């Protein structure tokens, strides 16, 4: 039986690093598409669908943060990670604020990159479990949450969620009216509990609060230094 290869789009303008990463990822059974700038990236995104995008922040025609926003607008379900030499905390937090699922600093070890990609994609794989706790359609107050399509609907309004927003909302819904600790959420979804992932989690919680503000019976309450409670009256 043929093994389905995960499709990755790499956006990297450095020819040496781009070639090295693309060849190494191909050796590890990924189907790799390499774009050297933002324009080429958007063209590739029009031609195919992908399982993951890897973006350099510093590109010749557009910065990676702006490109990430364009990708999210066009393909809200496509997860992406940043690979960059910019390691200031403000840059890392900005990366997470625009929806990155990981932020790797150059120089990067190719083996570590592969391990991170495989771990990330395995967590994004849809579950075969069909019990009530992980069903695809969830009623949340006046909203309908479709985990399979990654949409949140109320009346005639449909909100497209990112992979990470969908994962967090699903976790909150399946643990509603109970304390969801930072550690449990981060370990379950990110695979690790650290400072930057916690900051990223807070950004996504802000997004979800905004999406859910049309139903006053729904609240995501902070529990200081511990986590959140997803309350539905």
CATH number, domain at 38? Answer: 3.40.50.2300
The residue with tokens 């774009």 is 35
Within this chain, do residues 23 and 55 fall inside the same structural domain, yes or no? Answer: yes
Distance (Å, whole) CA 57 – CA 24: 21
The residue with tokens 């996504």 is 204
Task: Encode the chain (233 residues) as per-residue pLDDT tens digits.
Answer: 445 789 999 999 999 999 999 999 999 999 999 999 999 998 998 888 899 999 988 888 888 888 888 888 778 788 888 887 766 677 777 777 777 888 888 888 888 888 888 888 877 665 444 444 446 889 999 999 998 888 999 988 999 998 889 989 999 998 999 999 999 999 888 888 888 888 889 999 999 999 999 999 999 999 998 999 999 88
Residue 233 contacts by C-beta under 8 Å, 6 or more apart in sequence?
217, 218
pLDDT at 36: 93
70: region left, alpha or beta (phi > 0 left; psi from -120 to 50 alpha): alpha
pLDDT at 218: 95
Within this chain, do residues 21 and 101 fall inside the same structural domain, yes or no? Answer: yes
Within this chain, do residues 151 and 48 fall inside the same structural domain, yes or no? Answer: no
In a domain? residue 2: no
Domain finish residue from 124, 151, 170: 124
Distance of CA 19 to the CA centre of its chain: 25
Within this chain, do residues 100 and 192 fall inside the same structural domain, yes or no? Answer: no
pLDDT at 129: 40
Within this chain, do residues 156 and 98 fall inside the same structural domain, yes or no? Answer: no
| Domain of 84, in residue numbers | 7-124
Domain finish residue from 75, 108, 124: 124
- Cβ contact 184:227 at 8 Å: yes
- Would you call 169 exposed, middle or buried from its count of C-beta atoms within 10 A (0-12, 13-18, 19+)? buried
Adjacency order of strands within the sheet including 151-154 = 137-140, 143-146, 151-154, 157-160
Distance of CA 169 to the CA centre of its chain: 13
94: which DSSP letter? H
Within this chain, do residues 155 and 104 fall inside the same structural domain, yes or no? Answer: no
Within this chain, do residues 215 and 142 fall inside the same structural domain, yes or no? Answer: yes
Domain count along the chain: 2
Count of Cβ atoms closer than 10 Å to residue 111 Cβ = 10
Within this chain, do residues 92 and 144 fall inside the same structural domain, yes or no? Answer: no
- Say which CATH number the domain at 216 has: 1.10.10.10
pLDDT at 135: 63
In a domain? residue 49: yes
Within this chain, do residues 227 and 138 fall inside the same structural domain, yes or no? Answer: yes
Within this chain, do residues 85 and 146 fall inside the same structural domain, yes or no? Answer: no
* Structure tokens that stand for 230 in this block: 């997803």
Which SS3 state, helix, strand or coil, does residue 105 take?
strand
pLDDT at 9: 94
pLDDT at 132: 44
């Amino acid at each position: 039986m043929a093994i389905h290869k995960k499709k990755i789009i790499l956006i990297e303008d450095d020819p040496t690093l781009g070639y090295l990463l693309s060849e190494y990822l191909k050796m590890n059974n990924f189907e790799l598409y390499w774009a050297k700038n933002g324009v080429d990236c958007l063209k590739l995104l029009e031609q195919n669908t992908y399982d993951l995008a890897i973006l350099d922040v510093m590109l010749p025609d557009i910065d990676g943060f702006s490109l990430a926003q364009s990708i999210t607008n066009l393909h809200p379900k496509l997860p992406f990670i940043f690979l960059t030499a910019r390691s200031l905390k403000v840059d890392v937090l900005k990366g997470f604020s625009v929806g990155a699922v990981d932020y790797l600093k150059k120089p990067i070890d190719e083996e570590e990159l592969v391990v991170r990609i495989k771990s990330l994609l395995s967590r994004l794989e849809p579950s075969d479990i069909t019990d009530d706790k992980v069903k695809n359609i969830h009623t949340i107050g006046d909203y309908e949450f479709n985990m399979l399509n990654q949409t949140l609907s109320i009346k005639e309004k449909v909100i497209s969620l990112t992979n990470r927003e969908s994962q967090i909302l699903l976790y909150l819904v399946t643990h509603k009216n109970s304390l969801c600790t930072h550690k449990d959420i981060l370990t379950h979804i990110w695979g690790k509990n650290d400072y930057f992932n916690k900051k990223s989690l807070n950004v996504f919680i802000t997004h979800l609060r905004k999406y859910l503000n049309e139903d006053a019976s729904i609240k995501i309450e902070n529990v200081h230094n511990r986590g959140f409670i997803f309350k539905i009256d």
